[in-house]
Amino acid sequence: MENVKVILWGLGSMGSGIATDIVTNKQGIEIVGAIGQNPAKIGKDLGEVLGLNRKLGVIISDKPEQVLANNKADIVLHSTQSFTKDVFPELALIVNSGKNVITIAEEMSAPQVETPDLADELNKLAKKSNVTILGTGINPGFVLDTLILTMTGACQIVNKIWASRVNDLSPFGPTVMKTQGVGTTVEEFHAGVKSGAIVGHIGFRQSIYMIAKSLGWKLDDIAETREPIITNVYRETPHVKVQPGMVAGCCHIAKGYKNGLEIITLEHPQQIHPELEGVKTGDYIVIEGTPTIKFTDEQEIPGGIGTMATAVNMIPQVINARAGLLSMPELPIISALMGDVRQLIKR
Amino acid sequence: MENVKVILWGLGSMGSGIATDIVTNKQGIEIVGAIGQNPAKIGKDLGEVLGLNRKLGVIISDKPEQVLANNKADIVLHSTQSFTKDVFPELALIVNSGKNVITIAEEMSAPQVETPDLADELNKLAKKSNVTILGTGINPGFVLDTLILTMTGACQIVNKIWASRVNDLSPFGPTVMKTQGVGTTVEEFHAGVKSGAIVGHIGFRQSIYMIAKSLGWKLDDIAETREPIITNVYRETPHVKVQPGMVAGCCHIAKGYKNGLEIITLEHPQQIHPELEGVKTGDYIVIEGTPTIKFTDEQEIPGGIGTMATAVNMIPQVINARAGLLSMPELPIISALMGDVRQLIKR
């Protein structure tokens, strides 16, 4: 049986991590093409760029059309940008080349929310080429939607969903510090939120849309707030120093309302060194209903590894799926790939 | 759009609870037939028997062939017995009448394990009639398989799975006390396990099979142990009194081995009044891997409600599925049904 053939589009930290996971940990999958944009990587062998100390026979290219046209592949793993409008041309190119695609673009977990026209168009293109498009990742895609939905499966009634993903930004670099407002004054933080420079988490609306649609809740409204996490103690990382009274992170909260009642609350407070003020990181999910279900993971699932893992783990489901633009709740449950992936593919 | 039409087969505590859930909580589903065996219920209206204070226009019958032949229905919810060999003739009758079926028979969550011939036969019959068969329930079907598998979805590597479902048998009646050995001496307990009178949990092998198959692990062996939970303090319920030194419950453990290593461990210690010796009930799941994921639910998901809920919540997935004998990991993720179920059905 032939290996499952994958093309990678995007070789930043996520794309490189996905590639390394496939090469190092997976059986029955083979990388046959790699598209990057960093001039330092173009023309080099993927194995060398990944630091694997061996060649993979895959030369990194900055010519997507050529890579897609010249390589037979079952699926493209796409890791370039976050917003549907930015990735649409790339996804269209992939789909038109007759290949399935998994993208980690956050908005693509449910592109209907922000860009229904582009979602329609992608769905049509996918059906025309008889391929499947899926957006996934740790969040949106897993912790605050797929996992919550799965837990509601043991409920006869769900009255309200509350979940919080409390993490530690300390390991991240300067870009994340900026987009989360770490190290700003309170005034700068509010100005940054207003200007769009401080974005917080991308994906709340998509997670809430997937939850509500799957449960059958019709929401009146989704509202988001981004508030500064003001520190009372000195906190620092190699990239930022935060004095007491300044901003150590962004508490981003999204709420879904039904008949005027707050029925879904998703919180994602992200900051550096939460432990310095006794804040425990973790994933917390509470389904209020019949029965009420509360699950807690006191070591939050790491976002980077989790995103790489979810993207790779959905490969069989996406190859096996019917054609079209699909979302996580429409596909068979995700699980880790510990055996030969070929045995999971229905040819 | 027509309501989703359901026939109930089995009106014990589970079947009655399923019926009440559908009538009370669900939109767009309608019960069109009910098959029972208790002479006190036969010929009566289902609504009266459920204690709903209103008639549903569904007369409980003990003639399955008639009910199946005389009622157009999308699906049968089947809640009679635990073992595939016992329910096979009933499931065959349902499938041959052209109806999908969800059964809570524990072994039917993965009938390939104990009765591969019957599983093959059911798969063939289902395909012939273009219908789908699913076995589900809280466990097997959800906590110790579907939920575990979903959590592995965020892992690049899984090295070992450990999960424990610690519950309280105090609310249950005399039958459960007997099958779990509550109130026996240690000698009686071991004799009961040997004779098969004390069974512990039904479904471990099915859960382990589903986990291993989905992950792609080839197991060498599955081993089970049933040990007495000997109490150090006096415990009692309305049905049983347990003196110190006697048995308060059954600690049933199943282990899956791969290359000689214990790679899956599922524990289900069931006893009356665990709190009297400081034992906390709950569902505990630990996926050791990259990353390691630990989820805890300190109030275990109640088994009865959970089983009724999972059976009802899978109705759309089963009606929409391809024909054949399927299992939970092969279907789209389970979630609660809080809206009009008709909108989830692909006609």
Q: Hey, what amino acid is at B187? A: E
* β-bridge mates for residue A268, sequence order: A252
pLDDT value of position A20: 97
pLDDT of amino acid B174: 85
Give the per-residue pLDDT at A347: 74
Q: How confident is the model at residue B240 (pLDDT cuts 50, 70, 90)?
A: very high
Q: What is the pLDDT of residue B229?
A: 98
Residues of B whose CB is below 8 A from A216: 27, 337-341, 343-344
The whole-model pTM stands at 0.96
Please give the mean pLDDT across all residues of chain B: 96
Residue B196 region by backbone torsions, left for phi larger than 0, else alpha for psi between -120 and 50, else beta: left
Min CA distance, A273 vs chain B (Å)?
20
Task: Please tell me which of the candidates B155, B299, B335 has its beta carbon nearest to residue A214.
Answer: B335
Which amino acid, residue B39?
Answer: P
CB atoms within 10 A of CB A115: 17
Class of residue B178 by CB neighbours under 10 A (exposed 0-12, middle 13-18, buried 19+): middle
Question: Where do we find the tokens 């300390």?
Answer: A170
* Per-residue buried b or exposed e for A309-326, using 16+ beta carbons within 10 Å of the residue's own CB: bbbbbbbbbbbbbebbbb
Q: A11-21, pLDDT tens digit by residue?
A: 999 999 999 99
State the pairing for strand pair B240-242/B235-237.
antiparallel
Contact call for A333 and B146, based on CB within 8 A: yes
CB contacts < 8 A, A to B, total: 185
pLDDT at B280: 92
H/E run at residue A7 = strand A4-9
Distance of residue B45 Cα from the nearest chain A Cα, in angstroms: 23
Angle at A279 between CA A274 and CA A282, to 5 degrees: 95
The pLDDT of residue B172: 85
Please tell me the distance from the alpha carbon of residue B276 to that of residue B244, in angstroms, as a whole number. 12
Q: Which of B7, B59, B12, B67 is nearest to B31 (CA)?
A: B7
Q: Which of B155, B293, B341 to mutate to test the interface with A (most CBs of A within 10 A)?
A: B155
Measured distance CA(B114)–CA(B292) in Å, rounded: 32
Is pLDDT of B299 > 80? Answer: yes
Contact assignment for B142 to A154 by CB distance below 8 Å: yes
| Regions of chain A where pLDDT drops below 70 | none
According to DSSP, residue A139 is labeled: T
The 10s digit of each residue's pLDDT in B171-215 is 888 888 999 999 999 999 999 999 999 999 999 999 999 999 999
* Three-state DSSP string of chain B: CCCEEEEEECCCHHHHHHHHHHHHHCECEEEEEEECCCCCCCCCEHHHHCCCCCCCCCEEECCHHHHHHHCCCCEEEECCCCCHHHHHHHHHHHHHCCCEEEECCHHHHCCCCCCHHHHHHHHHHHHHHCCEEEECCCCCCCCCCHHHHHHHCCCCEEEEEEEEEEEECCCCCHHHHHHHCCCCCHHHHHHHHHHCCCCCCCCHHHHHHHHHHHHCCCCCEEEEEEEEEECCCCEEECCEEECCCCEEEEEEEEEEEECCEEEEEEEEEEECCHHHHCCCCEEEEEEEEECCEEEEECCCCCHHHHHHHHHHHCHHHHHHCCCEEECHHHCECCCCCCCEHHHHCCC
Q: What residues in A contact B150, CB-CB < 8 Å?
A: 146-147, 150, 333-335
Nearest CA to CA, how far is B65 from chain A (Å)? 30
C-beta atoms of B336 and A289 within 8 A: yes
Say whether pLDDT at B347 is over 80: no
Segment B319-332, tens digit of pLDDT: 999 999 999 999 99
pLDDT category of residue B83 using cuts at 50, 70 and 90: very high
B339 neighbourhood in chain A, CB within 8 Å: 215-218
At A166, phi and psi to the nearest 5?
A: -105, 115
